[in-house]
């Protein structure tokens, strides 16, 4: 048994002898496997139970054939050279003639890496696109909110201009407010993202790592978004005339 499943089933006791039953099949424990951790697919190997293949075929699955095999090699070069050998053996045992398509699948580490590379390429395109759409939506919301703020604060703007505020002062004020709103939202989003990432990594026993550059980008991008989105409302506020604003 894997060390984790052994601890779950038997606590600190050694799982030796007829102590477990799989369905209707009594099993004798013969030992605990060494801790291996998670495999490349995220499956915890320490929670697995290993039984003889003959027992699996005859008593558990009730079949006389093997659904799949996994080969382990000392290095990747051996796995590459072994692929055609395994293919030829399977074709011979499956009585496949020359030109006839394989009735089985072989997945090599090279193929797995190619699949992962393709997935990474897709994520590199999709994630920035999603982020860009979110930033665009946020910018539109900021423009609408700041325009509403300008419309509701015309008297305040007129009063400030009447006592000497310049157009640049009014424009700077609304740009600062726009940046502040977006920055606060960005910080909240960053905190939530880090929190949920930490929770997810703890659940999956994965290493929690967030590059420092990510945090910096998460702060700078909202500032730039707020700055760009606040230009239109800021100009609108700066162009208001004191006499018209005080009406």
Q: Are 164 and 177 in contact (CB under 8 A)?
A: no
Q: How many alpha carbons fall within 13 Å on the CB side of residue 105?
A: 5
Dig out the tokens for 181 from the structure. Answer: 């709103």
Residue 213: both structure tokens together = 């550059």
pLDDT of residue 18: 59
Higher pLDDT, 226 or 18: 226
List all residues 6 or more positions away from 102 whose beta carbon is below 8 Å from its beta carbon.
Answer: 87, 90, 91, 96
CB 162 within 8 A of CB 243: no
- pLDDT band (50, 70, 90) for residue 212: confident
pLDDT of 246 strictly over 60: no
Q: What is the pLDDT of residues 141-156, one digit of tens each?
A: 888 888 888 888 788 8
Q: Where are the alpha helices (DSSP H) in 46-153?
A: 53-55, 76-93, 109-152
CA distances from 188 to 185, 191, 196 (A): 5, 5, 12
37-41, 138-142, 150-154, 190-194: range with lowest mean pLDDT: 37-41
pLDDT value, residue 242: 65
pLDDT tens column, 227-242? 888 888 878 877 777 6
Average pLDDT value over all residues in the chain: 81
pTM over 0.75, yes/no: no
Confidence class for position 245, pLDDT limits 50, 70, 90: low
Q: Return d(Cα 247, Cα 242) in angstroms, integer.
A: 9
- Res. 164 pLDDT band, cuts 50 70 90: confident
**At CB < 8 A and 24+ separation, what contacts does 100-109 make?**
108/79, 108/80, 108/83, 109/76, 109/79
Give the pLDDT confidence score for residue 243 in this predicted structure. 59
Q: 18 phi and psi, to 5 degrees?
A: -75, 80
How far apart, in Å, are the Cα atoms of 214 and each of 94, 143, 205, 209, 221?
53, 26, 22, 11, 10
Q: pLDDT over 90 for what percent of the chain?
A: 0
pLDDT surpasses 60 at 138 = yes
């Amino acid at each position: 048994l894997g060390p984790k499943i052994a601890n779950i089933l038997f606590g600190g006791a050694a799982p030796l002898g007829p102590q477990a039953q799989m369905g209707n099949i009594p099993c004798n424990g013969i030992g605990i496997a060494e801790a291996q951790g998670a495999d490349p697919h995220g499956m915890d190997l320490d929670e697995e139970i290993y039984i003889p293949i003959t027992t699996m075929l005859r008593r558990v699955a009730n079949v006389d054939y093997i659904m799949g095999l996994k080969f382990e090699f000392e290095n990747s070069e051996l796995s590459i050279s072994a692929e055609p050998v395994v293919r030829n053996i399977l074709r011979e045992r499956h009585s496949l003639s020359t030109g006839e398509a394989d009735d089985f699948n072989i997945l090599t580490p090279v193929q797995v890496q190619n699949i992962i590379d393709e997935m990474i390429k897709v994520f590199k395109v999709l994630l920035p696109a999603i982020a860009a759409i979110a930033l665009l939506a946020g910018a539109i919301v900021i423009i609408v909110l700041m325009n509403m703020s300008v419309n509701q604060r015309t008297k305040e703007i007129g009063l400030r201009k009447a006592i000497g505020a310049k157009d640049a002062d009014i424009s700077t004020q609304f740009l600062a407010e726009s940046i502040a709103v977006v920055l606060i939202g960005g910080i909240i989003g960053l905190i939530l993202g880090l929190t949920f990432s930490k929770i997810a990594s703890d659940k999956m026993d994965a290493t929690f790592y967030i590059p420092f550059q990510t945090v910096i980008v998460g702060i700078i991008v909202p500032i730039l978004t707020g700055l760009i989105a606040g230009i239109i409302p800021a100009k609108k506020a700066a162009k208001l005339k004191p006499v018209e604003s005080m009406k």
